[in-house]
Each structure stands twice: as C-alpha cells, then as structure tokens.
Amino acid sequence: MAASSVEELLAKAELDEAEKLKSITVKKDLDLEFDVGNLLACDSNRVELRQQNREEFLKALARDNTQLLINEIWKLPTERVEEAIVAKLPDPVTALPREKPPPKPRPPTKWEQFAKLKGIQKKKKTNLVWDENAKEWRRRWGYKRANDDTKDWLIEVPATADPNEDQFAKRVKAKKERVAKNELNRLKNIARAQKIKIPGAGLTPKAQQSKDELALAETVAKTSTASVGRFQDRLPKEKPSKKKGQKRKFEPVIGNFSHEKQKQLDLLQIMDNKKPKLDVTKAVNKQMREEDREAAAAKYRKGAGKKGRKGNMPGKGRGPGGKGGKGGKGKGARLCCSGLVSCIYFKALQKKRHHHQILKMQRIYMHTNEHFDVFTTVLAPQGRCQFIAEVEKMVAVHRYEPQWPDELQLTPGDVILVLSKHEEGRWFGRLVGGQRGYFPASCVMELSQAKKQITSLRRTVSVLDDAGVRRRYQTGHVQQALRRGSRARGGALDHGQTDSEGPDSAPHTQRSPSLLHRILSKCRRKSQCQGATNRAFEGD
C-alpha cells in the first residue's frame, strides 16, 4: 500500500514538474547548437512548410528556437549588478575571420638587444631633478628643464681649444649632431625591424662627400651588375678599386686564450724566419711580361744590338757567378725551396747587394782554381752558345752519410764536381759548398743523364714544394739567367752547369722551360747569397 502510494506520489510530482516546464519545453528532433557567447543558436532540423501560412510558420519556428536559446542562457551563472541581474557570458565559440592580420611584435632595437645581452635593467627615473642654479625642482627634460646648458651665459674656453672658436656655436652644433645621430639610429632600427635594406655608410647622399666615400659608392655601383662588375668599362686613367668587399673579422677581446697565444707565436715565427713570401701568380705574370718585352725588343733590334750586348756579357756574367760563390759560404744546407721563394724580397735588396755581390764575386773569382774555368767559359758568350764542360759533373741521387773522416755527405740533388776517379766505385769530388772528399760512385749519376729525365717536366707551381724537383729545374733557369746575364739577378750561379750540358741543354731549354724556372732564376735571395749551396753545382 505504502509502496504504491509512494509510487503515486513520485508520479504525481513528475507530472507536476512536467506541467511546470511545459511552457518552456520544446520538442525537437535534433538538438540545437548553441554559441552562448555570441547569443547564437543553430537549428539543423529540416524545415518543412506545411499548410499553414508561411509567416505563422516562421514565427512559431522562431519562437521555439528562441525558447531553447533562452533556456541555455538562463543556465549561466548570474550576479546582481546595480539592481540588474546579469548573466556572465562565456567566450564566443564560432571562429570568425579577423578584421586585420594580428600585429607582429616589434623586433628589439639595437640598444634593447644590447641591454638584454648585458642584463641592463630599465630603471625608472624621477620626473624632477634638483637644479642647483635655480634652487628648485625642475623637470628632467623639456620646457624649463633643470641644468639647461643652452641657457649658459658663460662658457669657459678650454686650454686646448682654438681661442677664435665660438664655443656657443660649437655647443649648438654638437647638439644638432647628437639629435641627427639619434634620428638616424632610430630610422635604422625601424629599417631593421621592417627588414628594409639601407645602403651602408658612405653611400647615402650627403652634402659633402669625401673622395673615399665617392670612390666607395662608385665601386659598389660598379659591382652591382649580374657579372659582379667584371665587364664594366673603366675610364682611361682609372685604377681598379682595391676594395674587394671582404670584411675583416675581429676576434673578441676576451676569450680564447690558447687561440690568442697560438696566433702570437705564429706571428713571431714568421718574423723569425724572415722568409718573404712569393706571390707566384704575380711573379709568373711579371716574368711573362718581361719575356714578351724582351722578345719584342730583341726582334726589333736584330743583329747590331746583339753584338753590343755580347760584349757586355763577361762583366755582368760575373754577377750571377759571384752571387753563387757567395752563396757557397755561410749557412748550412738550405733547401732550394726556401731560397727560391723570395723573388720579391730579393728584388728589393737587389740593387743594394748587386755591387756588393759583384765585388765578392770578383774576390771569389780571383781565388778560383782551374775548376772555375767553367764559369768563365760559360759567361763569356752571349748565352746562345753552349760550352762543354771539361770536368765531369755528377748529381747525387741517393743519400749518403760519411763513414770516414774524408768522405762527403751527399743529399739527393747535390751537384758534385768529380775531380778524380782513381778508385773503382769510390771517387773524389768537390761539393758545391767547397767540401772535398770521397763518395761512392753508386750514389751519383751523370748530370747529363739526370737532366734528360726532367725534360718532360713543364711549368708547375708546385715546384716550390719539392726540393728535389726544384733543383732539377735549376738547370733550365740557370741557362736562361746566363743568357740574360746582364741583369745581375743574384746568384743565377747556374753558370757552371751550362757548359756540361751543352748540346743537351740547348734543346732542353728551348723546350720552353717553365716560367717558374725563370722566375726562380731571378729570385735571388739572401739565403742564396749567403746560402749553403752554390747554385752552379746544383744538378737536376
């Protein structure tokens, strides 16, 4: 009984509720989609117009939908605001396109970047500052500011300044410059923010532009072509611009200690070596030009000119010889490579040394024995004709350490003048440096033989790297140098050798010896002069 009554009660309660809510309930097949933030309701149910009047139908539909929307809104939390009940709306859900694209954050200015890097914080400054002169608080900047130096009626002229200079005008000018600089930096910041490229300093138009600035502007304009200015015409007397557009990279002041130490040590080593660098391309080009010039000159003055030059030969021929001789003393086994490199450096010293060397040469010459006849016989003629050496010249092909006190130390490439062969397999000879001693015959090879091996070699820049190869090439340039003996290009001592080669050498040299040989022949270095080896005896 009780149970049924309870059931009845519940049912009744339910009915009552339903009655209550009847007025606001709406039956729909599909639920509406609500976006309460926008006060929006979307009804996806099918709309079917039946018999009734369209307006009536629409109104009924609207009423139903609105009711549902209102139901939703009434579910929101409310609060009382000044005698009105206000419902708190949530954020709108519907995605609607924006009016304008979202603002991009302003990139930091140069100062801001720096401040962030260093950790500088912005400190709030007081608006008012105590002005000592006026004895009151004044604003920091602006109208009637504190410590206004434009209002000074007196400026002391500093001791270092020009007495006729107008200090007031100077101040005003300085202020104007500061303002202009500030404005420029501000614009630069904006340009950087908007990624606008601005021309570098010196290219922006100014009232007075210096010669350098104009030149820079002109270079930039010239190189702004598709082929980076390679085919741009130049004015008749215009020199090519030195600026290649490469920037120097400055290392940070404090940082890598080991790196800095290494750099300093390298620098010191370079200074210590005193080896001037050879700009190979430059030297090669120079050599080529000189050769062309000489060839043209030679063509121009045939016959008669030559004879005149021939006469000069002997004296000048000594020059190279002398240098060679001088090279024989002094420093130990200096590699040809190092010696050959100092073309440019040598040229600077050339004139100074020339006379000096010639004197030395003469001295050496006077002390020579019959073996030095080689020099004279070679030097006398113009160089076109070759002389056969009466002594045998050999070149060491293997390394040999002296095992007896009277033996020679041989390094491959050493030219040895064989003085006697009274023993089989053990010969007595003289080295370039002047040393005399015995050496095994197996370690040496005839110069002429050796020379034949190198005829195939042509111009190589890498000649400098390989000492042995270099020596071989000596012969070529030696001959050339002799031919051109007039220029005492130091140590073209290759004097001696030529005669031995004679007929062999002639075709050899004519086979266009490397330019480099010629350059190297011209390079007389300090080391050569004082140097270890006498070029004359250096073999292939």
* Chain contacts with other proteins (rule: CB under 8 A): 19-21, 23-24, 37-47, 49, 54-55, 58-59, 61-63, 65-67, 69-71, 73-74, 78-79, 81, 84-89, 92, 94-103, 186-187, 189-190
Q: Which residues 6+ apart lie within 8 Å of 272 measured at CB? A: none
389, 503 Cβ separation under 8 angstroms: no
CB of 104 to other proteins, least distance (A): 9
Nearer to other proteins, 99 or 238 (CB): 99
Q: Which residues 6+ apart lie within 8 Å of 525 measured at CB? A: 276, 338, 339, 340, 341, 342, 345, 346, 490, 491, 531
The two three-digit tokens of residue 433, written as one number? 């440096």
CB of 271 to other proteins, least distance (A): 52
Hey, what amino acid is at 249?
K
CB of 166 to other proteins, least distance (A): 32
Nearer to other proteins, 90 or 314 (CB): 90
CB of 266 to other proteins, least distance (A): 48
Nearer to other proteins, 81 or 235 (CB): 81
Nearer to other proteins, 57 or 428 (CB): 57
- Tokens 């130049």 belong to residue: 234
CB of 34 to other proteins, least distance (A): 10
CB of 180 to other proteins, least distance (A): 15
Grouping H, G, I as helix, E, B as strand and the rest as coil, residue 526 is helix
CB of 87 to other proteins, least distance (A): 5
CB of 142 to other proteins, least distance (A): 15
345, 449 Cβ separation under 8 angstroms: no
Nearer to other proteins, 10 or 191 (CB): 191
Q: Rounded to an integer, what distance in angstroms lies between the CA atom of residue 505 and that of residue 513? A: 11
CB of 223 to other proteins, least distance (A): 30
Q: Which residues 6+ apart lie within 8 Å of 223 measured at CB? A: 229, 245
440, 418 Cβ separation under 8 angstroms: no
Residue 508, CB-side half-sphere exposure with 13 Å CA sphere: 30
Nearer to other proteins, 43 or 373 (CB): 43
Strand partners, 417: 393, 430
Dihedral angle computed from the Cα positions of residues 227, 230, 231 and 235, in that order, rounded to the nearest 10 degrees:
140
The two three-digit tokens of residue 476, written as one number? 């070529």
Q: At what angle do helices 515-522 and 467-483 cross, to 10 degrees?
A: 80
Q: Rounded to an integer, what distance in angstroms lies between the CA atom of residue 328 and that of residue 372? A: 13
Nearer to other proteins, 59 or 511 (CB): 59
Nearer to other proteins, 91 or 370 (CB): 91
CB of 45 to other proteins, least distance (A): 7
Grouping H, G, I as helix, E, B as strand and the rest as coil, residue 78 is strand
Nearer to other proteins, 195 or 352 (CB): 195
Grouping H, G, I as helix, E, B as strand and the rest as coil, residue 68 is helix
Radius of gyration of the chain (CA): 49
CA-based max dimension of the chain: 157
Residue 52, CB-side half-sphere exposure with 13 Å CA sphere: 8
Nearer to other proteins, 84 or 226 (CB): 84
Hey, what amino acid is at 199?
P
- Tokens 């600089």 belong to residue: 181
Nearer to other proteins, 184 or 385 (CB): 184
Grouping H, G, I as helix, E, B as strand and the rest as coil, residue 22 is helix
CB of 141 to other proteins, least distance (A): 17
395, 413 Cβ separation under 8 angstroms: yes
